[in-house]
Chain A
């Protein structure tokens, strides 16, 4: 078996090319912040980024001007408000978009995962359809004559995801909220995974039902504890809601946002620096919070 452990720098440099279509994992839970920030640090340009419900990580990637196109069902800062960088870029027309819905994005990924070019669905046949998905076609069922929209497959070049544990071979164990993370990863040609903890293969074999992605699909594994902050990791730390709330104020102002990105992305050259920025008080608080290591039940 091949040891697939890597550094975040090498994993991104060796697997991601300018112009790639990247699926980014995490549905409120397990958002691969630190791993995806490496795209910004390496300034990999003209990227397409996709997922169903996207939060402030998408905002940061768009603000960093490395994104050419966004394929999404939702882009915002959940409950807190809008994705201000997305709104600015949309109005300036500095990004292209494909605007779907959460279900249709997930079905698009599922089609790619299943190796078919489309999946029929009842959605997206009424209501206003964005002009950027006007290529969506309708099909008639050969058995019932019912009409369906033909939701086209979405096959990303690469998926960046975060999970709780993996062994060095790339068997990924994940629990808690998945959303479309596993679906999106398995739909993609390549998968890079950051984890809280690398564990032994014998530990993996103790609970193989927790393995959601098998080693042969994974390109690289990186141990990045706290790499999903300010989102959360069940069994490790809770979500920093305050960070999301403050990000709303920060991201309204482009100057403030540049200093935020300098601080949290460009200057955070390794995961220890990132942890330092979070700070020991906050770390303790989030470990004790809901779903944290000290409050799992």
Chain B
């Protein structure tokens, strides 16, 4: 069956593509919003073994109604375990959580993420919420997938503030010296998948139903045509969408 992805909202498309990327993982550190939707979707369709872990301490959660906070009732309700934040951050630092999903206000060519300030740190145009657990996840998680709506204002050459460190040749060198994992390796927008290289993001593949021009429109990075064929997803993911469609 041919799927027309334009029928789905941008956030749904991100969750659809991201869910496919979670196959094979057993534990996922999740934040609220699109990351949580994507992990739920994977759990309900292509990766039932995936344990969703929230920084509030909830493990094995499956929020089926909208959650505003990582500590929300929908996260606590139906979780397999509730421990404290120190325990989940300790597991994260020990490398015991497989994969993490993050989003942010700004992303740059090397996957640095900004959720702190737009503009100068001391004289910002917009003062945002700060790291939360984002910096910690970006430093420590062995596999990091970044999820960003395709909004050109959010894609920049260099972020105003690197709340969560990226990857690429130079940053990887420092990460190696500090025994830290390699950082963001996949970026998913609502139209495409990118992979990290020494020189920054490479366009890996485009969601079937979209063109190269659409997938790269307004992005400041010089991007070459995709190195792989169009992204097609398991219809099971699409069927499960209705369950998280809140």
Contact = CB atoms under 8 A, between A and B. Distances in A.
B33 A101 contact: no
Interface in A276-297: 289-292
Contact of A121 (B83, B93, B164): B93
A124 B135 contact: yes
Contact of B135 (A91, A101, A106, A290): A101
Contacts of B124: 90-91
Interface string B154-177: 000000011111000001001101
Nearest to A146: B179
Interface stretch (B72-80, B143-151, B201-209): B72-80
Nearest to B67: A79
- Interface size class on chain A is 35 or more
Contact of B132 (A101, A131, A232): A101
B68 A239 contact: yes
A271 B37 CA distance: 37
Contacts of B122: 131
Given A28-B71, A239-B72, A103 B136 contact: yes
Contact of A127 (B82, B112, B123): B112
A86 B127 contact: yes
Interface stretch (A68-76, A153-161, A192-200): A68-76
A260 interface: no
A74 B86 contact: no
B129 A130 contact: no
Nearest to B160: A128
A215 interface: no
A291 B76 contact: yes
Interface string A22-33: 000011110000
B147 to A, nearest CB: 15
A234 interface: yes
B69 A123 contact: no
Interface string B29-72: 00011000000000000000000000111100000011111111
A183 B139 CA distance: 23
B96 to A, nearest CB: 13
Interface string B172-200: 00110111100000000000000000000
A137 to B, nearest CB: 15
Nearest to A290: B73
A170 interface: no
Interface in A227-271: 232, 234, 238-239, 241, 244
A102 B76 contact: no
A66 B74 CA distance: 33
A99 interface: yes
Interface in B115-144: 116, 121-124, 126-136, 138-140
B56 A28 contact: yes
B146 to A, nearest CB: 14
Interface string A78-99: 1110110011001100000001
B84 A74 contact: no
Interface string A100-128: 11111011001000000000011111111
Given A79-B33, A126-B165, A106 B86 contact: yes
Contact of A87 (B127, B131, B132): B127
B85 interface: yes
Given A73-B132, A73-B133, A179-B57, A126 B174 contact: yes
Interface of B: 32-33, 55-58, 65-77, 82-86, 89, 92-93, 112, 116, 121-124, 126-136, 138-140, 161-165, 171, 174-175, 177-180
Which 5 pairs between the two chains have the least Cβ-Cβ distance? A28-B71, A28-B69, A76-B129, A74-B132, A127-B165
Interface of A: 26-29, 52-53, 55, 72-76, 78-80, 82-83, 86-87, 90-91, 99-104, 106-107, 110, 121-128, 130-131, 146-147, 175-180, 182-183, 232, 234, 238-239, 241, 244, 289-292
17 contacts: A52-B85, A52-B132, A53-B133, A74-B129, A79-B33, A82-B127, A90-B124, A101-B135, A102-B89, A103-B85, A107-B89, A177-B57, A178-B83, A234-B76, A239-B73, A290-B73, A291-B73
